[in-house]
Amino acid sequence: MGHVFARLTGFGMTLIPVWPYTFERTVDAPGTVSVTRWEGQAARTAIVAGSAEKPSVQLANTQTADEVVEVLAGPAEQVWRIETTPFSVEWPEGFAIDSPPAGDNSTPFMLFGPAGSTIYLQGPLSRDQIPSPARLAAPGQALVDHRTEGAFEAVELAYQHDGAAWQQSHHLVALTESHVLVITAQSPATHAAQVRAAADLMARSVVVRTNT
């Protein structure tokens, strides 16, 4: 099995994908997930539903589910969570989970959503590595919002991309007294509210894992 930085848990299952992979939700079936293993442009897919005791698996372009995903027992909670070694977060609806490109160790996974929107996570990072909110704006970006909730601090930035208005947000979530998780989301301004809500959900749902 290829190296995996993240796995999916919920609905009685733990799903450990074979890298490189994509997780996608199944419409109108919250406990069903499509798992794809990529080999160049070729795709091996397993659609997994049910519980770990007796999961239902449908295969496409593959002989066995193990070529795509390992299915183990998991938490019965009726919500999907993305687990990494130091933390876990809730998987927001409307986004697919992708493994990062080969050699990219900056994030354990990436989320791709509507209109080319993306969400990625970085951390744990030392607080000393994080600039002040006013300095998080890159050249060409304008700071349009800065807010603090119990779980996180967030900044919203506006900028132009290929002649269109885009927005980017950074959520800073405390993992320890000295380290934070940074959740970065970006999308066309037309989809900013949906993507911001997804990033807020992830920031509020962060759980630091003590048993790894």
Q: Please give the pLDDT value at position 66.
A: 93
pLDDT of residue 14: 96
Domain boundaries, the chain: 7-83, 110-208
Helices and strands (H and E) in the chain: how many = 1, 17
Please state, in angstroms and rounded to a whole number, the distance separating the CA atoms of residues 146 and 194. Answer: 18
Q: Can you give the pLDDT at residue 4?
A: 57
- DSSP secondary structure code for residue 51 in this structure: -
Task: Return per-residue pLDDT of the chain as tens, 212 residues.
Answer: 344 589 999 999 999 999 999 999 988 899 999 999 999 889 999 999 977 678 899 999 998 999 999 999 999 999 999 999 999 999 999 999 999 988 888 999 999 999 999 999 999 999 999 998 778 999 999 999 999 999 899 999 999 999 999 999 999 999 999 999 999 999 999 999 999 999 999 999 999 986 53
3-state secondary structure of 58: strand
Instruction: Report the SS3 class of residue 117.
Output: coil
Residue 101, token pair as written in the block = 């490109």
CB 119 within 8 A of CB 95: yes
| CATH class (in words) of the domain with range 110-208 | alpha beta
The residue with tokens 């000295």 is: 178
Of the candidates 25, 80, 18, 8, which has an alpha carbon nearest to the alpha carbon of residue 43? 18
Q: What is the pTM of this model?
A: 0.93
Residue with tokens 């002649």: 163
Quick one: pLDDT at residue 104?
87
